[in-house]
Chains A and B, each alone.
Chain A
Amino acid sequence: MEFVRNFPFISIVLSLFSGPLSSVLNGKWARRVNYFVLCVLGAMQASVLAYVLQTKGAFVYTMGHFPAPWGNEIRAGVLEAFMALFFCIIMLLCMIGGVKEREKEIEPGKQNLYYIMTNLLLCSLLALIYTNDLFTAYVFVEINTISACGLIMIKQNGRTIEAATRYMIMSLLGSGLFLLGICFLYDLTGHLLMSNIKEAVAGLVSTGQYQNPLMISICIMCVGLAIKSALFPFHTWLPDAYGYSTVSSAAILSSLVSKGYIFLLVKIFYRVIGFDIISNTKIINILFVFGIAGMIMGSVGAIMESNIRRMIAYSSVAQIGYIYMGFGLGTTAGMIASIYHIFSHAATKSLLFIAGSGITDCSDGNVNFKKLDGAGYRNKLAGLAFTVGSLSMVGVPMFSGFISKMFFSQAAIGHDVKLLPTLIALAISTILNAVYFMKTVIRIYIPVKDTVGRENYRNIKMREDPLKSAALILLIILNFILGLNSEPIIRFIESGLKMFS
């Protein structure tokens, strides 16, 4: 067996181990370990991706001496490896983009705890991506939930603690429903391994046995993961959690944590239930309706918000709505568009959060939209980055958001009933996006007229915080790569989805 095949396993264990290791180090060393682990893991995922592309097939890796239905198993295909690589890159950029804020906002004695949380979060994301076993997925969902809570409340003020409490309650409700779904499914099929459940479910559907519990279990698993990834009616925990936590936490939570759950849902659709079965049920219609509602209501929420951080957070609700709408189309083209949107949104949202912190820094820490005028001149790079992110979110050609919107509309064209609602929702949502993002972009490029109350505004040069500048530049480049060079990524997604079944 080639040594590359060990890499998914080694990367999970390495990130898992770096958590306890950070607990005995001080903040400075924990940070170094974190960067090192992220770099090593990125390299490993890249080589796994190269290997899988070369062999043109997914491989399974037995965790232990016992083969699959008895022991645990992980599985790596093109989509898994690409997703893991992308997550590692985004996480590294989020971490280096928010170093200064973290050092200011977190108590010095608790710095290393932050890195425990991020390392274990990364581990759980990798495990969610690579796992081939539903129960393993649940165990790592638990780690993911608790570490996300820690990331929110480590900046200790009243708002973050309240946000973390709310996140905990909602998220545990989601985990509970997901666990119930797994229990039902186990009772019906007698398996926890994804491929075996799929076989058994296909058998149940063809014989017509246990139809009601099967549908209800799929349903509550979908609802559980939808709560955890903040689909529209369950999004109430999101604005506070993203809006008041420290920058890297907000960026990581919005671009990675919710995406991890969505990817798990994709895996459940393809590897546990079977895409043919799921696209024939009415569950996807419900996801479609809530997705569209989220696209519009999230944008409306963002328009009404005057706090720029919370505005960016509300925009996440809309973007999650896009992804669920793509699932709701029930076609492979819709799935491809949704998965592309996961990448596009992850790259753009982290860019926006980090750029947003740059903009507020040069405006004396004001987060109120009305006090940000001229910020684009005071901090040129952050202004540019925010503009790029906004254009991408609105869906201007050349940027990543345009490509995903184009794929969504192309996917809708093949559909007779859902064509019109999709296109109308896309149009309305684009206009609403433009309203609040362009409003902010114009505001940050209006020169300051009234200097009363703006005495502490200062210019920030790129060299003042080189790490953040580097993160912003790399994220802008990533956005252009996704926008201008989408062909190979779409090919990865296509072949990855084929490897799923």
Chain B
Amino acid sequence: MSRKLPKEEYDKTLSGKFEKWLSGSKDPYVGHVEMQKQSIDPEYEKLKKQNLKEKKEIRERIYDLENNSKIRKFRKIYRGFSILFCLFLVAMLLFAVADLPPFGNADNPVNNEVSARYIEKGLQETGAVNIVTGMILDYRAFDTLGESHVLFIATCTVLILLRVDKNSKKRKEESDAEIDDRHFEPKNDLILQSAARFLVPLIIIFGVYIILCGHLGPGGGFSGGAVIGAGLILYLNAFGFEKTERFFTAKTYKWMSFGALFCYAAAKSYSFYTGANHIESIIPLGVPGAIISSGLILILNICVGVVVSGTMYAFYVMFRKGGF
């Protein structure tokens, strides 16, 4: 090999580093990523084995499968019946679907005055270029109001199930007893952090774009909120709870979803009330195609987006460590 530089200097240049990496003599992870060898605790292993054995014994004692022919029979019959039931359901539904109006036919009952008005007058009446958004957030906004509360109540139910109350005695004993990784922060992974530093702002900006342009093109609160939520989850995974808790705590989430749902309910109540009482709404529809247009739809989209992103993030946090 002909080399102009001496060996030590060559090793410091880019190509030298590359050659070293290629030959495998240097591991780039070493010194940059926290690495720990997994230690095997012999007592823990013993405990695990014992637990498994006890579980098996208890199972055998409860069901006593070898001697209890009733349970064996029941299981067989149960399996048989469930297969039969599913086949019956499938057959019935196929039978029903076979007789439905053919797909895409112009004479179908679905192609009636309802969809005609959505398509023909949707732009003019709601101001939204995207007809679907106009339908779900203006024509049928009451359904979407319910739907956003479905998300809210789903998070509340997960809160009931998973939130670890730090003050409660019972929980303290439990968390001391069981070995869990709830409180361990993610390791400082350089690759993940560098990627996250680059990707998270992009993802969040893209989510905001989807929400804000919901009335102009494909998108809207639900999809944009999900994208923002994904960005937040990526950030959390890369940098850990200490950093996210500076701007996103349980309190933030509570007030955020309360505020968004309140705005949604208030805005829609105004439009329901004025509509039913035949009062002219003061909200202008604006020029179709402009960002600030189509009346309340933009605000509603933002509210839905806030709720959805909060819900996504809250779900993740709840499953990860049982609370913010």
Report the nearest B residue to A211, measured CB to CB. Answer: B99
Q: Identify which of A117, A143, A161 gathers the most chain B CB atoms within 10 Å of its CB.
A: A143
Chain B residue numbers with a CB within 8 Å of A421 are none
Contact B142 A187 (CB under 8 A): no
Query: How far apart are the CA atoms of A69 and B135 in the complex, in Å?
Result: 12
Complex formed: what's the CA distance from A344 to B271 in Å? 39
Q: A136-B146, A139-B147 are in contact. Are A150 and B160 (CB under 8 A)?
A: yes
B-chain residues with CB within 8 Å of residue A242 when the two chains form the complex:
none
Is the beta-carbon distance between B150 and A143 smaller than 8 angstroms?
A: yes
Closest Cβ of chain A: how far from B237's Cβ, in Å? 26
With the chains together, A116 CA to B258 CA distance in Å? 12
Could you say which of B92, B150, B154, B277 has the most chain A C-beta atoms within 10 Å of its C-beta?
B150
Provide the B142-168 mask, 1 if CB < 8 A to any CB of A, else 0.
110111011011101101110101011
Give B219 Cβ to nearest chain A Cβ, in Å: 22
Asked whether, in the complex, the Cβ of A71 is within 8 Å of the Cβ of B140, the reply is yes
Also in contact, A190 and B143, with CB within 8 A (given A64-B275, A107-B168, A120-B149): no
Which residue of B has the minimal Cβ distance to A191?
Answer: B114
Q: Select B149's contact among A107, A133, A143, A154, beta carbons within 8 Å.
A: A143
Instruction: Given A109-B168, A146-B154, check contact A24 B254 (CB 8 Å).
Output: yes
Does B262 count as interface, using CB distance less than 8 angstroms? yes
Residue-wise, chain A 125-159 has the 8 Å CB interface mask toward B (1 for contact) of: 00100000101100110110011011001101000
Q: Tell whether B73 is near chain A: CB-to-CB under 8 Å.
A: no
Q: In the complex the two chains form, is B118's CB within 8 Å of A16's CB?
A: no
A210 in the interface (beta carbon within 8 A): yes
User: A217 on the interface (CB 8 Å rule)?
Assistant: yes
Q: Which of A16, A23, A64 contacts B141 (CB 8 A)?
A: A64
Query: How many A-B residue contacts, CB cutoff 8 Å?
Result: 178
Chain A residues near B147 (CB-CB < 8 A): 139, 142
- A109 close to B163 (CB less than 8 A): yes
Contact present for A17 and B114 (CB under 8 Å): no
Question: A35 contacts the other chain (Cβ, under 8 Å)?
Answer: no
Nearest chain B CB to A323 CB, angstrom units: 25
Is A190 a contact partner of B275 (Cβ separation < 8 A)? no
A143 touches B153 (CB 8 A): yes
Q: Quick one: closest B residue to A139, CB to CB? A: B146
Tell me, rounded to whole Å, the shortest Cβ–Cβ distance linking A177 to chain B. 9
Complex alpha-carbon distance, A156 and B141, angstroms? 36
A residues near B255, Cβ cutoff 8 Å: 24
Q: Is A400 an interface residue (CB 8 A)?
A: no
Given A190-B109, A213-B99, A139 and B143 touching (CB < 8 A)? yes
User: Which residues on B sit within 8 Å (CB–CB) of A213?
Assistant: 96-97, 99-100
- Total interface residues on A, CB under 8 Å, equals 62
Output the nearest chain A residue to B251 by Cβ-Cβ distance.
Answer: A24
A347, B278: Cα distance in complex, Å: 40
| A63 beta carbon closer than 8 Å to chain B | yes
Which chain A residues border B271 with CB–CB below 8 Å? 64-65
Interface string of B79-113 (1 = CB under 8 A from A): 00000000000001101110111000000111111
User: Which of A113, A188, A191, A200 meets B160, CB within 8 Å?
Assistant: A113
Distance, CA A113 to CA B159, complexed state (A): 8
- Bound-state Cα–Cα, A24 to B251, Å: 8
B139 on interface, CB distance cutoff 8 Å: yes
- B261 an interface residue at 8 Å Cβ cutoff? yes
- In the assembled complex, the Cα of A154 lies from the Cα of B93 at a distance in Å of 37
Of all chain B residues, which has the CB nearest A136?
B143
On whether the beta carbons of A6 and B276 are closer than 8 Å, the reply is yes
User: Nearest Cβ distance between residue B321 and chain A, in whole angstroms?
Assistant: 16
Please tell me which one of the listed residues A17, A117, A217 contacts residue B156 in the complex, with CB atoms under 8 A apart: A117
Would B142 and A184 count as touching, CB distance under 8 A?
no
Residue of B nearest to A112 (CB): B156
Could you tell me the distance between the alpha carbons of A147 and B147 in the complex, rounded to whole angstroms? 13
- Whether the pair B156, A13 counts as a contact (CB closer than 8 A) is no
Q: How far is the CA of A374 from the CA of B135 in the complex (A)?
A: 63
Q: How far is the CB of A183 from chain B (nearest CB, A)?
A: 10
Residue A110 lies at the interface, judged by CB distance under 8 Å to chain B = yes
B111-150 CB mask vs A (1 if < 8 Å, else 0) is 1111101100000010000000000001111110111011
Q: CA–CA, A200 to B139, complex, Å?
A: 22
Min CB distance A124 to B, Å, is: 8
Q: Does B272 contact A (CB under 8 A)?
A: yes
Q: Shortest distance in angstroms between B74's beta carbon and chain A's nearest beta carbon?
A: 14
Q: Within 8 Å of chain B (Cβ to Cβ): is A186?
A: yes
Query: Is A437 in contact with chain B by the CB < 8 A criterion?
Result: no
Given A23-B156, A72-B142, A120-B153, CB of A188 within 8 Å of CB of B100: yes
Answer whether A108 and B254 are a contact pair too, CB < 8 Å, given A66-B125, A69-B113, A70-B117. no
- B152 contact set on A, CB distance < 8 A: 19-20, 23
Which residues of chain B have C-beta atoms less than 8 A from A124's C-beta?
146
Q: Are A1 and B157 in contact (CB under 8 A)?
A: no
Nearest-CB residue, chain A, relative to B168 = A107
Q: Is B293 an interface residue (CB 8 A)?
A: no
Residues of B contacting A21 with CB < 8 Å?
A: 258, 262
How far is A107 from B278 in the complex, measured between Cα atoms in Å?
Answer: 48
Residues of A at the B interface (CB closer than 8 Å) are 1, 5-6, 9, 13, 16-17, 19-21, 23-24, 61-66, 69-72, 107-110, 113, 116-117, 120, 123-124, 127, 133, 135-136, 139-140, 142-143, 146-147, 149-150, 153-154, 156, 161, 180, 184, 186-191, 200, 210, 212-213, 216-217
List 28 contacting pairs A-B, 8 Å CB cutoff, sorted by A: A13-B272, A16-B145, A17-B261, A17-B265, A19-B152, A20-B152, A23-B152, A63-B272, A64-B275, A65-B271, A65-B274, A65-B281, A66-B125, A66-B138, A72-B142, A108-B167, A108-B168, A109-B167, A120-B153, A139-B143, A142-B147, A143-B146, A146-B150, A147-B157, A150-B156, A188-B100, A188-B101, A212-B99
**Which are the 3 A-B pairs with shortest beta-carbon distances?**
A190-B109, A65-B275, A72-B142
**Apart from A63-B141, A146-B150, A156-B160, what 12 extra A-B contacts exist at CB < 8 Å?**
A13-B272, A24-B255, A64-B275, A66-B138, A113-B159, A113-B160, A120-B153, A142-B150, A143-B150, A188-B101, A191-B114, A213-B97
B contacts, CB < 8 Å to A:
92-93, 95-97, 99-101, 108-115, 117-118, 125, 138-143, 145-147, 149-150, 152-154, 156-157, 159-161, 163, 165, 167-168, 171, 254-255, 257-258, 261-262, 265, 269, 271-278, 281
